[in-house]
């Protein structure tokens, strides 16, 4: 059974929703799946001043924070993070910067990795955020399982070959990306299963 860690960071819940769709699809594909959140580093006063952020913090209270042990446990990892000026959020980067010990021991090599992202505008940096994340994964020696154009649902979701991305407005997600997320998760698991037979 492939072990999948779906690791997300979210202020208002969009990336948790993507993560939960990935979890559903991973379980359908026969994987043992954990949904884990990146630890929050923003001051409580800032979170308190943003009602949507505060509401999501309450919503996600019971979701465990990711640890280095989770990375070592996983055969496959799907990351879901919002774009921050075309890059990953600082919270995510802070966690990734703690992985040096695992990396030095070769414990992150050959993990199968895929990524998803969100932003407020259609060209708000989603693709670049995913590519920035993959740059770190190349240093790990991970195997990138991008969706490419392997299923028509990707075109219906906006056609991002690097990973599912979504535009988020005041009324939620603007594109219907659920099927694309689920395809991406199943593809990630299929790559992990194929590697396990080598």
Strand 172-173 versus strand 3-8 pairing type: unpaired
Position 169 scores a pLDDT of: 87
CA angle 76, 87, 5 (to 5 degrees): 15
Residue range 29-85, pLDDT digits in tens: 999 999 999 999 999 999 999 999 999 999 999 999 999 999 999 999 999 999 999
Please state which of the four CATH numbers 3.30.70.260, 3.40.190.80, 3.40.50.360, 3.40.640.10 is assigned to the domain occupying 3-196: 3.40.50.360
Q: How far is CA 58 from CA 19, 135, 189, in A?
A: 17, 32, 30
The domains of the chain are located at 3-196
Residue range 146-178, pLDDT digits in tens: 999 999 999 999 999 999 999 998 888 999 999
pTM: 0.96
Please give the full DSSP string across 44-85, using - where no structure is assigned.
HHHHHT-HHHHHHHHHTTTSPBP-HHHHHH-SEEEEEEE-BT
């Amino acid at each position: 059974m492939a072990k999948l860690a779906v690791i997300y960071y979210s202020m208002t819940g969009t990336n948790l929703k993507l993560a939960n769709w990935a979890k559903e699809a991973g379980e359908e594909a026969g994987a043992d799946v954990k949904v884990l959140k990146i630890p929050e580093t923003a001051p409580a006063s800032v979170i308190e001043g943003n009602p949507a952020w505060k509401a999501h913090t309450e919503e996600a209270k019971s979701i465990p924070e990711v640890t280095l042990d989770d990375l070592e446990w996983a055969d496959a990892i799907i990351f879901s993070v919002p774009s921050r000026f075309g890059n990953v959020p600082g919270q995510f980067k802070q966690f990734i910067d703690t992985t040096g010990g695992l990396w030095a021991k070769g414990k992150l090599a050959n993990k199968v990795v895929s990524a998803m992202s969100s932003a407020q505008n259609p060209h708000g940096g989603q693709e670049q955020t995913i590519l920035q994340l993959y740059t770190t994964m190349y240093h790990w020696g991970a195997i990138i399982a991008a969706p490419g154009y392997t299923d028509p649902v990707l075109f219906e979701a906006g056609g991002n070959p690097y990973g599912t991305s979504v535009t988020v407005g005041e009324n939620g997600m603007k594109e219907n990306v659920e099927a694309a997320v689920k395809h991406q998760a199943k593809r990630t698991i299929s790559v992990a299963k194929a590697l396990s037979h080598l």
